[in-house]
Amino acid sequence: MNTEKDARSGGANTGRTLSNATTCLGRVVRLQVAMKIDQMVQDLPRIAAAGALKVLTLSYSGPYAYHTVDPIEKIAELNNAKPRDDNQLIKALAHFRHLKNQELDFVGKAAALSAAAVVGVFSWPTAEKTIWVAKMLWNWSFFTSCFALISSAQQRLLRRLPGPEDDDLVFPDEQVQIALNLLLQPVLKVPDGGKERGRRVSRRMLYVWQNPTMLMSYSWVMFIAGYALHILTPVFDPSLGEVSAKVAIVTLCGCALVVLNFFFCAGVCQLRLQPGKGHGASADSWLPGGHSGHPAA
């Protein structure tokens, strides 16, 4: 009799133990799932920004990385090194200037060719029958190519960077700081006793430096898209070739965005060139930029 009671008691205890273990395991699993979901929600804006950046730079991703992102990240790495090698930093700045000179030379020629292509297209007699979407794209292509040409001809920023003939003996530290302000975030003021943080890549300046290539690339994308629609003219209704007032307004709004983009970049450059603007809180956080391994803020 006692043996049976002990067996029943042991079985009950074992059942309660298994039940408690199952409950604890379920709580742990639910907690881990909740933590993963919370992490995914927190990472969602970053993932969305990275995805949008890849889509926006799809047509010029190679030059964007080679001429802009990679050399600027290298400069940020050299600047934050402890101790900092000023000679290597100046060489990296000079190399960036060399790359940008090459890039802007190509952008200027490609943008001029794009603008000439659009002007030539509008002289075609068959262009009058082309669907209005193609005409809108061609107008946008002309504006973006013109402002890409204007931006590529702007050498004011490059003159602030050291050239191949400069070294740490002839390029003063003040000029180095101005050059860094054109690439990196402003220096954050550290409270007393706080640990100084390194300067990261400025998203605003990253956008400014890649802007001419972006405009040139977009101008060709829109020109080719418009040309493809022009080839398909027999497929569309002839009435779609007429440009209404609404279409004209939309076209003008797109052109206005290109103009505003130009003034935005000019304003950012002017601000960074002013003395004493290399310190303080950064306002670069709203533009995506940098590689996944080196997030720019």
Residue 2 within a domain: no
> Is 159 part of any domain?
yes
- The candidate with the shortest Cα–Cα distance to 216, out of 97, 60, 98, is 60
- Single-letter amino acid, residue 24: C
Pick the residue with more confidence: 7 or 128? Answer: 128
Domain total in the chain = 1
Among 61-65, 92-96, 135-139, 280-284, which stretch is predicted with the lowest mean pLDDT?
A: 280-284
Q: Considering the domain boundaries, does residue 21 fall inside one? A: no
- Residue 289 pLDDT class (50, 70, 90 cuts): very low
CA-to-CA dists, residue 284 to 78, 200, 281, 297, angstroms: 21, 10, 9, 6
Q: How far is CA 26 from CA 16, 23, 54, 168, in A?
A: 15, 5, 40, 63
Residue 22 lies in a domain: no
Q: Is residue 74 part of a domain?
A: yes
Residue 178 lies in a domain: yes
Spatial neighbors of 88 by CB under 8 A, at least 6 apart, are 78
Decide if 87 contacts 121 (C-beta within 8 A). no
Look at residue 32 and tell me if it is in a domain.
Answer: no
Q: What's the domain range around 74?
A: 52-273
Q: What is the pTM of this model?
A: 0.76
- Provide φ and ψ at 185, rounded to 5°: -65, 155
Instruction: Identify which of 66-70, 83-87, 237-241, 275-279 has the greatest average pLDDT.
Output: 66-70
What is the Cα–Cα distance from 131 to 134, expressed in whole angstroms? 6
Whose structure tokens read 């409270």? 191
Q: Is residue 33 part of a domain?
A: no
